[in-house]
């Protein structure tokens, strides 16, 4: 067989078989009749058998032609499916994205945003893992994640940051605590208290330690908890005070005897950002997810 099989010729053959006419097939496929006929004749010569019996009334398939058309339909269906899949991939409509996110993102924004995204992009699979902000950049740089959601102000070398969402840190106390009557305060005004903090190494704990050091006072850490809920429970039990994002503790505030007071410190208003490798182009699926997240959260994608 000397002639290479190509999709256009197969479409001409299948369409001519369906319509019973080479002329009608050429009209449907926007080909000249002579070009369509030449393609069929060249294929027959290459295969060494006739695909069609021709007559003044049109064309009919030979037994060998029927077998060829049947297989050609399957081949063209697969080719069309491949074409759609490749287009979807290139447009970011399907693929696989690995995401590392800090606790605030997991609690405050991702559940709702990802539910909408996965409903509109069912062919994109997202692997999501919670990590602390200081640990995420290394994982992104090493290629273990496509996107990282972090509480960082400046991009480490090799990373690009894109604004995602903001939240507000508040001091939480038991309802009847002496500080609970205040409407707002600075962290330095609470440094006489015992603190319930998150475990060492989180971005939030690092902010607290840095602010206390700037005020020239040590922060008295009584307990270190792994999660926001545990901090709230310990505060409610009267074991100390804590600093957490207001937006993340709404469920706890609804049923625990705690009070939340905004902090006036500039660092208490945080902007979380999406980190990506600056030297590596995102896959279409990862780019689609990042743009959808920033768009849905209200952050400009310009």
Give yes or no for residue 269 having a pLDDT over 90: yes
Give yes or no for residue 221 having a pLDDT over 80: yes
| pLDDT given at position 302 | 37
Q: What is the mean pLDDT of residues 249-258?
A: 93
Q: What is the pTM of this model?
A: 0.69
Say whether domain 7-90 belongs to CATH 1.10.10.10.
Answer: yes
Distance, CA of 208 to CA of 154 (rounded, Å): 18
Q: What angle do CA 168, 265, 230 make, to 5 degrees?
A: 50
Q: Per residue in 97-137, pLDDT tens?
A: 999 999 999 999 999 999 999 999 888 889 999 999 999 99
Q: Where on the phi/psi map is residue 240: left (φ > 0), alpha (ψ -120 to 50), or beta?
A: left
Tell which CATH architecture fits domain 168-269.
Answer: 3-Layer(aba) Sandwich (3.40)
Which of 3-17, 42-56, 182-196 has the least mean pLDDT? Answer: 3-17
| pLDDT given at position 291 | 92
What are the boundaries of each domain within the chain? Answer: 7-90, 94-165+270-296, 168-269
Q: In this structure, which CATH number among 3.40.228.10, 2.40.30.30, 2.40.50.140, 3.40.190.10 belongs to the domain 94-165+270-296? A: 3.40.190.10
Mean pLDDT (the chain) is 89
Q: Do domains 7-90 and 94-165+270-296 have the same CATH topology?
A: no
| pLDDT given at position 74 | 84
String of b and e for 158-180 (b: at least 16 CB within 10 Å)? ebebbebbebebbbbbbeebebb
């Amino acid at each position: 067989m000397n002639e290479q099989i190509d999709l256009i010729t197969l479409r001409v053959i299948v369409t001519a078989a369906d319509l019973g006419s080479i002329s009608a097939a050429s009209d449907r496929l926007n080909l000249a009749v002579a070009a369509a006929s030449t393609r069929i004749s060249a294929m027959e010569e290459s295969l060494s058998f006739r695909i069609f019996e021709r007559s003044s009334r049109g064309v009919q398939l030979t037994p060998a032609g029927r077998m060829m058309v049947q297989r050609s339909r399957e081949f063209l269906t697969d080719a069309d499916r491949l074409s759609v899949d490749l287009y979807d991939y290139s447009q970011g409509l399907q693929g696989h994205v690995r995401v590392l996110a800090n606790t605030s993102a997991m609690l405050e924004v991702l559940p709702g945003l990802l539910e909408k995204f996965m409903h509109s992009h069912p062919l994109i699979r997202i692997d999501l893992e919670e990590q602390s902000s200081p640990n995420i950049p290394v994982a992104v740089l090493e290629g273990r994640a496509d996107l990282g959601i972090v509480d960082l102000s400046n991009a480490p070398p090799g990373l690009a940051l894109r604004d995602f969402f903001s939240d507000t840190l508040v001091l939480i106390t038991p309802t009847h605590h002496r500080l609970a009557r205040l409407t707002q305060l600075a962290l330095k005004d609470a440094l006489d208290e015992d603190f319930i903090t998150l475990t060492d190494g989180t971005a939030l704990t690092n902010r607290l330690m840095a602010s206390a050091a700037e005020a020239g006072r040590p922060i008295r850490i009584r307990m270190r908890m792994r999660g926001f809920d545990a901090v709230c429970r310990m505060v409610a039990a009267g074991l100390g005070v804590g600093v957490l994002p207001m937006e993340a503790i709404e469920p706890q505030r609804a049923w625990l005897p705690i009070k939340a007071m905004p902090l006036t410190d500039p660092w208490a208003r945080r902007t979380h950002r999406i980190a990506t490798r600056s030297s590596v182009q995102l896959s279409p699926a990862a780019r689609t997810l990042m743009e959808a997240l920033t768009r849905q959260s209200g952050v400009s994608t310009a």
